[in-house]
Structure 1
């Protein structure tokens, strides 16, 4: 079941997102960033602030009263920004991510927004290919990877974001 996340979900969302992106637990899935970044992917404070902002929606995918996936959607007219697509590492390749993408498209349509945009770290070739298979295309635009004390690069590869988009009917 996919529903809108609320403040009461923050702790569970935080654990899920960090387990899927960073650290040993993330290596059980194919979308890990543990080989290129360390540190946290997000914090409870960041998620609380995100949910409190009315331009943001976090959709959660719940099964057996447990959040197993989520996605951040941000209204940035004339488009919807999609970020932090997360599926529990043990459940990746089960269709949860695709269902969240489909719900994001419905959300964009309901808001009257004609495209969804996202950024993906350029070295994440397998992830870029997955988004391509789901209708997203690289725009050619690039954005610098943010320097911060949260996202700590542990690779010698230069990191930057590529911008991808999908037009919504």
Structure 2
């Protein structure tokens, strides 16, 4: 298994995985689905725009074999000389018992550290208690900062609650 940078040819598979991992409900749903938001989490155009407009950013893909099915992803984005942002950490729901999330997180942190990162930051939807607890167990801390949820921006889905915001987490690498 190894992480490799996503290319345009991977976008459809990445979008499918993100939308299943973040938003699928019912049979086969992830343990940490974003049930407070309906609709898609990601589109190929959003992914393309983010990669082209954020210099140094990379979306890493995890596969068992080079041409095997996509198992997980992690987005890494330099914010300053020593601070990086981590997002879009996904694992295929039927593979979550393999502890791939931990492996992808560690590999993403190592990737950023090799490029000078000393601090990793991320945002998590405030109502995703199980996911927040998972990151806290991995050494991340709540910073006390919040960021508004983009109500009215259909690119992020349809919120089903009016109390959503993002909390910021940080970890020294």
TM > 0.5 fold call: yes
Whether 2:74 is the aligned partner of 1:68: answer no
**How high is the TM-score relative to the length of structure 1?**
0.91
1:4 shift after superposition: 1.3
1:127 shift after superposition: 0.5
Q: Partners in 1 of 2:18 and 2:121 — Cα distance?
A: 20
Question: Quick one: which of 151, 159, 163 aligns to 2:164?
Answer: 159
Counterpart for residue 119 of structure 1: 123
Q: Structure 2: which 5+ residue stretches go unaligned?
A: none
**How high is the TM-score relative to the length of structure 2?**
0.89
1:131-166 deviation line (CA, Å, top 9, x unaligned): 01111110111111112113211135x111110011
Q: Give the 3 Å change call, closer, same or farther, for CA 107–81 of structure 1 in structure 2.
A: same
Counterpart for residue 136 of structure 2: 132
1:70-110 deviation line (CA, Å, top 9, x unaligned): 01111111311011111111112321111111111111211
Q: Structure 1: which 5+ residue stretches go unaligned?
A: none
User: Cα RMSD over matched residues?
Assistant: 1.6
Q: What SS does structure 2 have at the residue aligned with 1:92?
A: helix
Q: Partners in 1 of 2:165 and 2:100 — Cα distance?
A: 27
Q: Give the 3 Å change call, closer, same or farther, for CA 68–41 of structure 1 in structure 2.
A: same
1:30-64 deviation line (CA, Å, top 9, x unaligned): 1211x210111010111122333432110101124
Aligned residues: 166
Q: Give the 3 Å change call, closer, same or farther, for CA 26–92 of structure 1 in structure 2.
A: farther
Q: Partners in 1 of 2:21 and 2:115 — Cα distance?
A: 29
Q: Give the 3 Å change call, closer, same or farther, for CA 32–89 of structure 1 in structure 2.
A: same
Q: Partners in 1 of 2:146 and 2:70 — Cα distance?
A: 32
